[in-house]
Copies of this chain bind each other. A is one copy, B any other.
Amino acid sequence: MKNKVARDIPDNILKQMTRKPFNGVTYGHPIAQRVAPKVRATTGRDKVLSSIDEVVAKTVADGMTISFHHHFREGDYVFNQVMRSIIDQGYHNLTLAPSSLTNVMNDIVVEAIKKGVVTNITSSGMRGSLGDAVSHGLLENPVVFRSHGNRARAIEQGEIKIDVAFLGVPNSDNAGNANGMDGDAAFGSLGYALIDAQYADTLVLVTDNIKAYPNTPASIKQTQVDYIVKVDAVGDPEKIGSGATRFTKDPKELKIAKTVNDVIINSVYFKEGFSFQTGSGGAALAVTRFLRQAMINNQIKASFALGGITKPTIDLLNEGLVARVMDVQDFDKGAAESMKDNRQQQEIDASWYADPANKGAMVDQLDVAILSALEIDTQFNVNVMSGSDGIIRGAIGGHQDAATAKLTIISAPLVRGRIATIVPNVTTVITPGDSIDVVVTEIGIAINPKRQDLIEQLSHVPGLPIYTIEALQQKAEKIVGQAKPLVFTDRVVAVAEYRDGTVIDVIKAVKD
Contacts and interface: CB of A to CB of B under 8 A. Distances in A.
Interface of A: 27-45, 47, 156, 175-176, 203, 212-214, 216-218, 221-226, 273, 303-304, 323-324, 326, 340-341, 343-344, 346, 351-352, 355-362, 364-365
Given A214-B346, A214-B365, A344-B216, A34 B28 contact: no
Given A351-B223, A352-B222, A216 B41 contact: no
A218 B34 contact: no
A360 B216 contact: no
10 closest A-B pairs by CB: A34-B36, A36-B36, A216-B346, A223-B358, A42-B359, A31-B40, A41-B357, A222-B360, A43-B364, A223-B352
Nearest to A35: B36
Given A41-B30, A45-B29, A359 B176 contact: yes
Contacts of A304: 213-214
Given A175-B365, A223-B360, 15 more contacts: A29-B42, A29-B45, A31-B40, A31-B41, A39-B357, A39-B359, A41-B359, A42-B358, A42-B360, A43-B361, A47-B360, A212-B303, A217-B343, A222-B359, A223-B361
A213 B304 CA distance: 8
Contacts of A222: 352, 359-360
Q: How many monomers of this chain does the complex have?
A: 2
Contacts of A45: 29, 360
Nearest to A213: B303
A383 B323 CA distance: 50
25 contacts: A29-B40, A29-B41, A29-B43, A30-B41, A32-B38, A32-B39, A33-B36, A33-B38, A35-B36, A36-B156, A39-B357, A43-B356, A43-B360, A44-B364, A175-B360, A176-B359, A213-B365, A214-B326, A216-B326, A216-B344, A216-B346, A221-B352, A222-B360, A223-B360, A226-B359
A224 B359 contact: yes
A449 B27 CA distance: 64
Contacts of A324: 214, 216
A223 B212 CA distance: 32
A355 B39 CA distance: 12
Contact of A355 (B29, B176, B223, B352): B223
A226 B224 CA distance: 26
